[in-house]
């Protein structure tokens, strides 16, 4: 009897130890949404790393101060997808419209230059609501060093939540368009990806292209891009790859190239190229009107 009890005790102890060891070697189930969110961060994080380097700052001379006296819009608040309050410079359509243009800043932040661009697009497009999202939560840089600090501390997950919140704020029936420069050019394309079937057109000014083919295949609108042949962020090689990938994904991308450097479309940029900006802007407005 004692031998039998001892054997049973040994079996139970062994089973308990084996069960404990199995539990220790199991990994928690990964949520599909977390995987997708991680994949969605790859391009933004690559940009963040690049934009935190002095070489990137070197192609961004401090902008000329712009002091507009009669801006058309005003700051407003909305709820981001993370449940926190976000803000944007907003100009409502003069008559009710389900067309929304999401405007996205350069790496400097939502400064007066971007607000002037928002005003210009609003004036020339007409029947559209314009929303320039404040991606830095109120912070604005005036020098390359301060912009690098903002970029190093940027939370790309928070920024994704802002764009998602802006799309939701526009409404489920809204037609979403986007335009952005540099940092904003990258986010303009990401906005088209995040908007899904609501996306109707995206305008990129020298923004970092998306390289993930699954994400490119998910785009449901046409895209137009304006790039400088003298630019290194993105470089002509990156633009060529983007063009090839979009074609492979079966998407419509119109690429326009200029003999200009980074930031050529920004009048407050000392390396501003007026001729290139004029041509790009005319094509951007025509693209948005057609779509």
Top CATH class of 42-66+73-290 equals alpha beta
| pLDDT at 55 (0 to 100) | 87
Identify the bridge partners of residue 205 per DSSP, sorted by sequence position. Answer: 181, 226
Each residue's pLDDT tens digit, 68-82: 989 999 999 999 999
Pick from 47, 63, 52: which is nearest to 145 by CA? 52
- CA 118 – CA 115 distance, rounded (Å): 5
Identify the bridge partners of residue 124 per DSSP, sorted by sequence position. Answer: none
- Total Cβ atoms within 10 A of residue 97: 14
Each residue's pLDDT tens digit, 104-125: 999 999 999 999 999 999 999 9
- CA 91 – CA 216 distance, rounded (Å): 30
Mean pLDDT of the chain: 89
pTM: 0.85
Mean pLDDT in order along the chain per 10 residues (291 residues) = 48 47 42 42 86 87 89 98 98 96 97 97 97 98 94 94 98 98 97 98 96 97 97 95 98 98 92 95 98 94
Burial bucket for residue 204 (CB in 10 Å: 0-12, 13-18, 19+): buried
Each residue's pLDDT tens digit, 245-285: 999 999 999 999 999 999 999 999 888 999 999 999 999 99
- Total Cβ atoms within 10 A of residue 120: 14
Indicate the Cα dihedral angle 247, 291, 287, 121, nearest 10°.
-130
């Amino acid at each position: 009897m004692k031998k039998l009890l001892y054997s049973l005790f040994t079996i139970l102890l062994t089973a308990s130890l084996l069960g404990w060891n199995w539990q220790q070697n199991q990994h928690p189930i990964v949520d599909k949404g977390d995987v997708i969110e991680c994949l969605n961060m790859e391009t933004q994080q690559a940009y963040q790393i690049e934009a935190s380097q002095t070489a990137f700052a070197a192609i961004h001379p401090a902008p000329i101060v712009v002091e507009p006296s009669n801006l058309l819009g005003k700051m407003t608040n909305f709820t981001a997808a993370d449940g926190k309050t976000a803000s944007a410079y907003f100009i409502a359509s003069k008559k009710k419209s389900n067309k929304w243009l999401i405007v996205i800043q350069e790496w400097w932040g939502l400064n007066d230059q971007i607000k002037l661009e928002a005003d210009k697009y609003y004036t020339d497009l007409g029947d559209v609501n314009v929303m320039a999202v404040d991606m830095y939560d109120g912070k604005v840089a005036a020098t390359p060093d301060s912009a690098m600090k903002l970029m190093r501390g940027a939370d790309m997950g928070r920024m994704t939540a802002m764009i998602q919140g802006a799309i939701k704020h526009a409404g489920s029936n809204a037609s979403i368009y986007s335009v952005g420069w540099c940092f904003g050019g990258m986010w303009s394309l990401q906005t088209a990806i995040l908007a899904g079937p609501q996306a109707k057109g995206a305008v990129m000014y020298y923004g970092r292209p998306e390289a993930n083919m699954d994400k490119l295949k998910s785009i449901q609108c046409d895209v137009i891009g304006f790039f400088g042949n003298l630019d290194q962020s993105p470089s002509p090689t990156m633009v060529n790859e983007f063009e090839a990938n979009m074609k492979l994904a079966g998407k419509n991308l119109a690429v326009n190239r200029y003999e200009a450097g980074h930031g050529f479309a920004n009048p407050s940029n000392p390396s501003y190229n007026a001729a290139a900006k004029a041509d790009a802007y005319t094509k951007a407005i025509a693209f948005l009107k057609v779509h």
